[in-house]
Structure 1
């Protein structure tokens, strides 16, 4: 129960961070894509700093959730980040709330609940067997390299979606290394700080954040956020099963699981097509003016 509570808090914090970071990154020049100059520009914006602060809150909540529950339960809950992000963005950027949006939100929430009930993730080890990490890191690295290569060749929403999925993969790997790092606390604080997992979590998380900023800058939030939310949930579940030996129901239980995924997908598509998604992009009147002096 504690893990579910903190997973929900993580999703809400991440959703808030995404909206604030999107608002800041939308004004950045396209030529800054995948360059450190993008981060230098964002560091000058208070709203982006606020988004980073919410990301830090989310990281703490996620660590507690992963330390107290299976990764296959914790990470899928993050799919609620998408409807929360769009609803919050609609409030901040003057969006409307038509009936179709609420139906899509209900589809995502209902689909998630059905999936967790049908799959019933359980069991699993607190830590990963050392020999499993090299293979997992190699496969993940190749997948990320392919996504980044495609992201550099496309533009607009295609780049946003591709980089959003790359960021999702990075965040899923971060969750796996974070859970493994938290397990080392059972052997003392010294073991926690001397394990490579802690520093891998920080490095991969920072890299994923950089990729996410470029996804947000490249196109609409509706293109990047579904890939981020759903990709994170699915890839993390794979890590839970393969690395932590967590189990999911099989047999006829696969039928409601697939139905649940279809329901979540339908809800996400509905949200991505809603006026809220367009409302997250700053309107021309929201962009900084250059014909007046800056306030001091």
Structure 2
């Protein structure tokens, strides 16, 4: 097997596959003005998704995260899960969702082959949740998390973007919530993107400061698996739940990079903060193009950089996180 490997000996076992950039939330750190539709866009079809997944799986990828936008906005979302999960070589299928459809549909997603689920929840205060997301759906999302456990998920990961002056004072409430619940609470450091410079300056909270607090309180870091995402995960003997920290500004954050991204328009992105995407769509029309597709993936990896350039204030071509699946 010719694995996906770059010039720095990093292997890529993890694909983040966006299926739409449409989202019905208006989160301050992503789409504060809401989704602005472009009638010319044509998102990946189910067959194209199958071709992409097979090509990556044939080159060693064993985990796929289906992302957006909000992936459950796709009417065929359950079919997408089933198509990815049935691909030989794919051992784990995950998704990231804002949770608004979970209560009614998460059991179907589980039956279709979904193994893991991440839910965005930026506050435990319904009013602050509304302020950050632009949607008054806090109780629906919480009901969706409960429904995920009922459907058989042993753990639910909850993504929280901490922002100074908004929800950064809720750390204690979040910790109390996971003390007796199998939730991995993932604090995501606010990232600077092309349209969010002012928001970043106003609300950025250093993930390293939270890590110091956790270590002082007796939390211990888990060993990272080869196909794990970028989070540093911590556990505590007194807690059922865990804490994950995603700190893109930490030293050596990119050294363990193991994931590639394909946008909903069929472009390969080597980095969330890269300068360009490599078009794959012309090779997604038939299974007979798999060899050419794999060759293009290998050739593109030759240009992957050792690190992003966020520390220099360069966020690449990414206008907002919904554009290529975060």
TM tier relative to shorter chain = under 0.3
Q: Larger RCO: Structure 1 or Structure 2 (Cα < 8 Å, ≥ 6 residues apart)?
A: 1
**Higher-helix-fraction structure:** 1
TM-score (norm 1): 0.23
**Greater strand share, structure number:** 2
